[in-house]
Amino acid sequence: MDDATRIPIPAPYTGPNVTGGLAEIFIQDGFANDDPRLWVPLSPGRWSRPLCLNVSQGYWVHLTKVQGGGFLSRHKHPAPVHGFVIKGSWRYLEHDWVAGPGSYLFEPPGEIHTLVVDEDCDEMITLFHNTGALIYCDENGKTTGTTDVFDRIDACRVHFKNVGLGADYVENFIR
């Protein structure tokens, strides 16, 4: 584009902001390549990296990482989930597709599924936007346990304290 047709970048907004508005969350490196302590272990070979833990609307946005294959227990959602695959591949036992880098997924409320990462996948990383809860259930759909944003916050507090970041480090992600 030559200079005659280039539209100049506008001036930044410097006026007042809304009353009661929250601070943005900006995470330069969501993969936390410089500090693996930001990955909160879920179980051997599985981690969750918090990005936004939203206590006023009951959702959490995070990266799920699985190394060496494995699964996430069968569960149901009472509210929608959005997923976007960044690395590796995985599938649900209940569907016939395989998600890979660039795949987007909407999980409708009420669906029950079991996420599997096959052993030939060294590492999978997927961004999930979970609302409400994961409701773990048995093969008949009967509830066996739950996890929500408040459970995630508690788990982060324990982990961040144990790795020396301090329990309050989780506040960086809470809105």
Which residue, 121 or 137, has its beta carbon nearer to Fe ion? Answer: 137
Q: How far is the CB of 7 from Fe ion (least distance, A)?
A: 43
Q: How far is the CB of 77 from Fe ion (least distance, A)?
A: 6
Note the helical H segments in 28-108: none
Residues 6+ apart with CB under 8 A from 4: none
Residue with tokens 């020396």: 164
Which residue, 147 or 172, has its beta carbon nearer to Fe ion? Answer: 147
The residues of the shown chain that bind Fe ion, judged by CB under 5 A, are: 107
Q: How far is the CB of 60 from Fe ion (least distance, A)?
A: 13
Q: How far is the CB of 71 from Fe ion (least distance, A)?
A: 12
Q: What angle do CA 89, 72, 160 make, to 5 degrees?
A: 100
Which residue, 47 or 169, has its beta carbon nearer to Fe ion? Answer: 47
Residues 6+ apart with CB under 8 A from 171: none
Q: How far is the CB of 75 from Fe ion (least distance, A)?
A: 6
Which residue, 107 or 133, has its beta carbon nearer to Fe ion? Answer: 107
CB atoms within 10 A of CB 77: 19
**SS3 of 59-116:** EEEEEEEEECCEEEEEEECCCCEEEEEEECCEEECCCCCEECCCCEEEECCCCEEEEE
Which residue, 76 or 160, has its beta carbon nearer to Fe ion? Answer: 76
